Structure 1
Amino acid sequence: MLGAWYYPNESGAYRAGHRRNDMKTLFISAMASLIAMGVAAASPGEDLDALFEEYWTNEMRENPFTATRSGVRDYNAEVRLVAPADFERRTQKAELFLERLNEVNREGLSDSQALSADLLEFILEHDIVLAEYDRWRIPFLADTGFHTNFGYTVDATTFRSEKDYEDYLGRLGKLPEFIDQNIANMRRGLEDGFSQPKEILANIMPSFRAQIKDNAAAHPYYAPFTSMPQSISARRQAVLKEAGRAVIADEVIPAFQRALSFMEEEYLPGARDTLGADKLPNGKDYYAALVRYYTTLDDVTPDGVHKIGLKEVARIRREMDAVIEETGFEGSFQEFVEYLRTDEQFYPTTPQALLERAAWISKDIDGRLPAFFGKLPRQPYSVEPVPAEIAPNYTTGRYIGAPADADRGGQYWVNTYALDKRPFYSLTALTLHEAVPGHHFQNALALEIENAPEFRKEFYPHAFGEGWGLYSEKLGVEMGVYGTPYDHFGRLSYEMWRACRLVIDTGIHSKGWTREQAIDYLASNTALSLHNVQTEVDRYIAWPGQALAYKMGELKIWELRTNAEKQLGDRFDIREFHNVILNGGGLPLELLSSQVDKYILETKAE
Structure 2
Amino acid sequence: MNKRTIAASVLAGALLIGCSQQTQKEAQVGGGEQTASAETNNLGSVFDRYWEENSKLFPLEATAQGDNRYNDQLPNDGTVAFRQNLQQFYQKYLSELQQFDREKLSDNDRISYDIFKYDLETKLEGLKLNTWMIPYQQFWGLPLTMGQYGSGEGVQPFKTAEDYDNWLGRVRGFSVWADTAISNFRRGMRAGVVLPRPLVQKMIPQMEAMVVSDPSKSLFYGPINKFPASVSEADRKRITEAYRAAISNELVPTYRRLGQFLKTEYLPKSRTSTGIAAVPNGPDIYRYYVKSWTTTDKTPDEIYQTGLAEVKRIRTEMERVKNQVGFKGDLNAFFNYMRTDKRFTPYKTPEDVLNAFRGIQAKITPNLPKLFGRTPKTPFEIRQTEAFRAASASAEYNPGNPDGSRPGIFYVPILDAKTFNTTSGMESLFLHEAIPGHHYQTSLQQENDQMPKFRRFAWYGAMGEGWALYTESLGKELGLYTDPYQYMGALGDEIHRAIRLVVDVGMHHKGMTREQAIKYMMDNEAINEQGAVAEIERYMAIPAQALSYKTGSLKIQELRRKYEQQLGAKFKISDFHDELLKDGVMPLAVLERKMDAWAAKQQ
Show CA shifts across 1:500-543 (max 9, x none): 11111111111110111111111111123332222111111111
Range 64-73 or range 572-581, more displaced: 572-581
**2:145 maps to 1:149:** yes
For 1:229-378, what aligned pairs fall within 5 Å after superposition? 229-298=228-297, 300-347=298-345, 357-358=356-357, 360-362=359-361, 364-365=363-364, 368-378=367-377
Taking a change above 3 Å as real, the CA distance of residues 200 and 157 of structure 1, as seen in their structure-2 partners, is: closer
Range 93-102 or range 536-545, more displaced: 93-102
Which of residues 390, 399, 411 in structure 1 aligns to 2:397? 399
Counterpart for residue 118 of structure 2: 122
Offset, 1:44: 5.1
Counterpart for residue 448 of structure 2: 449
Counterpart for residue 11 of structure 1: none
Aligned residue for 2:129, secondary structure, equals coil
**2:46 maps to 1:51:** yes
Show CA shifts across 1:366-397 (max 9, x none): 565343222222323444566777766x5733
Counterpart for residue 8 of structure 1: none
Aligned residue for 2:378, secondary structure, equals coil
Counterpart for residue 38 of structure 1: none
Indicate if the aligned counterparts of 2:72 and 2:167 stay in contact, CA closer than 8 A: yes
Taking a change above 3 Å as real, the CA distance of residues 185 and 421 of structure 1, as seen in their structure-2 partners, is: farther
Taking a change above 3 Å as real, the CA distance of residues 315 and 477 of structure 1, as seen in their structure-2 partners, is: same
Q: In 1, distance between residues paired with 2:62 and 2:379?
A: 21
Q: In 2, distance between residues paired with 1:326 and 1:336?
A: 12
Offset, 1:77: 0.6
Counterpart for residue 33 of structure 1: none
For 1:560-579, what aligned pairs fall within 5 Å after superposition? 560-579=559-578
Show CA shifts across 1:564-584 (max 9, x none): 222222332222211111110
Indicate if the aligned counterparts of 2:379 and 2:404 stay in contact, CA closer than 8 A: no
| RMSD, aligned CA | 2.7
Taking a change above 3 Å as real, the CA distance of residues 318 and 596 of structure 1, as seen in their structure-2 partners, is: same
Aligned residue for 1:147, secondary structure, equals helix
Offset, 1:82: 1.6
Aligned residue for 1:148, secondary structure, equals helix
Counterpart for residue 176 of structure 1: 175
Q: In 2, distance between residues paired with 1:482 and 1:542?
A: 34
Counterpart for residue 68 of structure 2: 73
Show CA shifts across 1:407-460 (max 9, x none): 633443444569899643223222222222222321222111222211101111
Aligned residue for 1:475, secondary structure, equals coil
Indicate if the aligned counterparts of 2:431 and 2:437 stay in contact, CA closer than 8 A: yes
Aligned residue for 1:476, secondary structure, equals coil
Offset, 1:406: 8.7
Counterpart for residue 163 of structure 2: 164
Indicate if the aligned counterparts of 1:62 and 1:81 stay in contact, CA closer than 8 A: no
Indicate if the aligned counterparts of 1:45 and 1:109 stay in contact, CA closer than 8 A: no
Range 199-208 or range 242-251, more displaced: 199-208
Range 415-424 or range 395-404, more displaced: 415-424
TM-score by length of 2: 0.86
Counterpart for residue 131 of structure 2: 135
Offset, 1:305: 0.7
Q: In 2, distance between residues paired with 1:418 and 1:147?
A: 30
Q: In 1, distance between residues paired with 2:270 and 2:76?
A: 24
Indicate if the aligned counterparts of 2:200 and 2:262 stay in contact, CA closer than 8 A: no
Q: In 1, distance between residues paired with 2:107 and 2:581?
A: 16
**2:101 maps to 1:105:** yes
Range 216-225 or range 494-503, more displaced: 216-225
State the identity %.
35
Counterpart for residue 558 of structure 1: 557
Counterpart for residue 88 of structure 2: 92
Contiguous gaps of at least 5 residues in structure 2? 1-35
Indicate if the aligned counterparts of 2:349 and 2:418 stay in contact, CA closer than 8 A: no
Q: In 2, distance between residues paired with 1:397 and 1:184?
A: 36
Range 470-479 or range 42-51, more displaced: 42-51
Indicate if the aligned counterparts of 2:38 and 2:100 stay in contact, CA closer than 8 A: no
Show CA shifts across 1:213-252 (max 9, x none): 4443343333333333333323323322332333223322
Contiguous gaps of at least 5 residues in structure 1? 1-40
Taking a change above 3 Å as real, the CA distance of residues 241 and 249 of structure 1, as seen in their structure-2 partners, is: same
Indicate if the aligned counterparts of 1:467 and 1:551 stay in contact, CA closer than 8 A: yes
Aligned residue for 1:478, secondary structure, equals coil
Range 341-350 or range 301-310, more displaced: 341-350
For 1:481-492, what aligned pairs fall within 5 Å after superposition? 481-492=480-491
Counterpart for residue 467 of structure 1: 466
Offset, 1:67: 0.6
Q: In 2, distance between residues paired with 1:45 and 1:341?
A: 65
Taking a change above 3 Å as real, the CA distance of residues 360 and 581 of structure 1, as seen in their structure-2 partners, is: same
Q: In 1, distance between residues paired with 2:602 and 2:234?
A: 64
For 1:17-32, what aligned pairs fall within 5 Å after superposition? none
Taking a change above 3 Å as real, the CA distance of residues 407 and 233 of structure 1, as seen in their structure-2 partners, is: farther
Taking a change above 3 Å as real, the CA distance of residues 321 and 87 of structure 1, as seen in their structure-2 partners, is: same
- Paired amino acid for 1:95: Q
Q: In 2, distance between residues paired with 1:269 and 1:388?
A: 36
Offset, 1:350: 6.8
Taking a change above 3 Å as real, the CA distance of residues 208 and 296 of structure 1, as seen in their structure-2 partners, is: same
Aligned residue for 1:506, secondary structure, equals helix
Larger radius of gyration: 1
Show CA shifts across 1:233-273 (max 9, x none): 23323322332333223322221222222222222222111
Q: In 1, distance between residues paired with 2:384 and 2:284?
A: 39
Q: In 2, distance between residues paired with 1:430 and 1:219?
A: 34
Range 52-61 or range 130-139, more displaced: 130-139
Q: How many residues align?
A: 562
Aligned residue for 1:278, secondary structure, equals helix
- Paired amino acid for 1:166: D
Q: In 2, distance between residues paired with 1:316 and 1:471?
A: 15
Show CA shifts across 1:66-89 (max 9, x none): 110011111111014222321232
Range 212-221 or range 562-571, more displaced: 212-221
Offset, 1:193: 1.6
**2:439 maps to 1:440:** yes
Q: In 2, distance between residues paired with 1:363 and 1:76?
A: 40
- Paired amino acid for 2:68: R
Q: In 1, distance between residues paired with 2:60 and 2:121?
A: 23
Range 240-249 or range 491-500, more displaced: 240-249
Range 138-147 or range 265-274, more displaced: 138-147
**2:502 maps to 1:503:** yes
Taking a change above 3 Å as real, the CA distance of residues 529 and 150 of structure 1, as seen in their structure-2 partners, is: same
Q: In 2, distance between residues paired with 1:553 and 1:82?
A: 31
Indicate if the aligned counterparts of 1:45 and 1:113 stay in contact, CA closer than 8 A: no
**2:58 maps to 1:60:** no
Offset, 1:361: 3.9
TM-score by length of 1: 0.86
Counterpart for residue 17 of structure 1: none
Counterpart for residue 19 of structure 1: none
Indicate if the aligned counterparts of 2:75 and 2:173 stay in contact, CA closer than 8 A: no
